[in-house]
Structure 1
Amino acid sequence: MDKITFLNELEQELERLPRQERDKIMFEYESYFFDLEKNGKNEYQIMGELESPKVIGKEIKAKNAISYAEYKTNAKTIIRAIIASLGMGIFSLLLILIPMVFIACIMFVLLLVSFMMFISPLLLIVHGVINHNISLAISNYLFAFSYSGLGIVLFVLILKLAELVYRAILKYLRWNIKTIKGSAVE
C-alpha cells in the first residue's frame, strides 16, 4: 500500500464524520507524511509506524462519538459512543454491553415502581370506583399520597443514578481507547 492508497482508505473510514472534521484529520495525516518525508523517511517506513486506516478510523470515530456524548448528553449519543467503541474490540463488548443491558433493565424496573408509587392515589380512587367501595378512611389517602412522594423521590434518585452511570460510561470509554491505543503502540 502506498501513501495515496492509505490516505484514501482513511478518508473512506471517516466518511460519516462531518466534512470539516474529516478535512482537518486528513490535513493532519498529510502534514505528518510531508514532515517525515522531508526528514528523510520514505512513505513505507512512515506507514509501518502507523496503524491500518481501518484501526485509525475506528479510533477517531470512537473519540468523536465520546466527545459528542460529553457535549450532548442523551441516550442516543451514549449508545452511539458505545457502539463506536465496540468496533474497537470484542473485549469491550463484554465490559460495556452486558453490564449496560443489566443496568438498563434495573433502571427501567425502578422507573416503573416509581411511576406506580406516584399514581397510587389515583389507583386507590379507581379501585374504589370499580369495586363500588370507596374508602372513607383518611389514612388510606394519606398513605397513598406518601407513596406519591416516595415515587417522586425514587424518580429523582434514578435520574441521579442515570447521570452517574452516564459519566462512568464515558470515563470507561475514554480509558478503553487509551488502553487499546497504548497496547497497539507497545
Structure 2
Amino acid sequence: MDKTQFLNELGVKLAGLEPEERFEILADYEEHFAAGAVSGKSEQEIVFDLGSPEEIARDILAGRTEEPVEEAYYVPRPIASKKRSTGSKTGIFLAMLIPNLVVYSLLLSFWGVVVGVAASTVGFFLTPIAFVLDVILNHSFEIYKLFAVIAGLGLGFIFLVFTIWLAKVVLLATVGYTQFNKHLMKGEKKHV
C-alpha cells in the first residue's frame, strides 16, 4: 500500500467526522509520510510503521459515537518484498566493487578540488592582512599593491560563491551515489 492508497482508505474510514477535522487528521498523516521520506524510508515502510488505516480510524473514533465506515470492497495489501540473502549481497558487492572504486575515487578527487578552491578563497581573503603587514614591516606604501589587494578581495568573493556551489554539487553526487548503493544492496525497487 502506498501513501495515496493509505490516505484514501483512512479518509473513507473517517467519513463520519466533520470535513475540517478529517482534513486535519489526513494532513497530520501526510506529515508522517514527509518526515519518513526525509529519513529515507519508503512509503511501504512508513505505512507498516503507522499501521492499518482501519485500526487508526478505530482509535480516533473510539471516544466518539461515530463508527468507522465499512468499505464494500477488499483492498489487498502488497506482499512485503524479501530482503536479499547474504550470498546475493556478496555477489552484488563483488560486482559493484570496481565501479564503486572508480566512482568513489572520482568523488574523492572532486572533494580535493573543493578543498583546493576553498583554500584559494581563504588566501584571497587574507591578502589585506598581508598588505598591512607589508606596510608595517617594510615601511613602504605602494598604491599598486593596494589595488592588487582590492582585486584579490573581489576574486575571493567570486571564489566563495563558486566554492559553495561546487561543494553542494559534489555533496549531492556523493550522497546520491551512496544512496543508490544502499538501495541496491537492500534490494529495493526504487533506487534514488
Range of TM-score over shorter length: 0.3 to 0.5
Please identify which structure carries the higher helix content. 1
- Max radius of gyration: which structure? 2
